[in-house]
Amino acid sequence: MFMKDTWKAIYASAQVVLTAAHQLLLTSAPAIYALCRPPGHHASDSVAAGYCYINNVAVAARFMQNYTLEDMNKIKKTYNGDNGVNRTENIDKSNGKKKVLIIDIDYHHGNGTQEIFYDDPTVFYISLHGHPDYPYFTGSAQET
């Protein structure tokens, strides 16, 4: 269901994970946790599902793979808060993909995250979830 402020919440949620990804590289922390709503792990690259409109962890993973810390700092500096536009045309995204580990701890299987990264050897996805339950038909041991 899409309400009046749904898009604002989705956008803010994505900004939380992008900020968390940036902060992870700025600090010596081995991991970072981003608590945001709406969640994202049921959204695939083409389908919104389970109250998930975009896959926040996928956004953060790709952001960390495609941008260096220097690039992220440039993006932060060039952000124009007046109209919400990021000007990133001077960012070189040619660096090799870094490996990312995603650990999803939720009663429901993150079917969207699995679908997005299933054939990607640069992302290792672990889902700790109850089975069988929503989204049903996914998250079984046979899918590993």
Q: What is the pLDDT averaged over residues 5-17? A: 92
Q: What is the pLDDT averaged over residues 92-112? A: 83
How does pLDDT run across 64-91, given as a tens digit for each residue? 999 888 888 888 776 645 445 555 555 5
Whether cis (ω within 30° of 0) applies to the bond prior to 135 is yes
Domain locations along the chain: 6-143
What is the reported pLDDT for 103? 92
What is the reported pLDDT for 91? 53
The DSSP secondary-structure symbol of 45 reads S
Q: Mean pLDDT across the chain, nearest whole number?
A: 85
How does pLDDT run across 21-59, given as a tens digit for each residue? 999 888 888 888 888 887 899 999 999 999 899 999 999
Give me the percent of the chain exceeding a pLDDT of 70: 85
pLDDT at 119 over 50: yes
What is the reported pLDDT for 98? 85
pTM of the model: 0.81
Among residues 22, 42, 108, 129, which one is catalytic?
42
Q: What is the pLDDT averaged over residues 7-29? A: 90
- Out of 1.10.1520.10, 3.40.1350.10, 3.40.720.10, 3.40.800.20, select the CATH number for domain 6-143: 3.40.800.20
What is the reported pLDDT for 75? 82
Helix axes 56-66 and 6-26, enclosed angle (nearest 10): 40
Nearest by Cα to 61 from 75, 86, 47, 40: 40
Is 109 a known active-site residue?
Answer: no
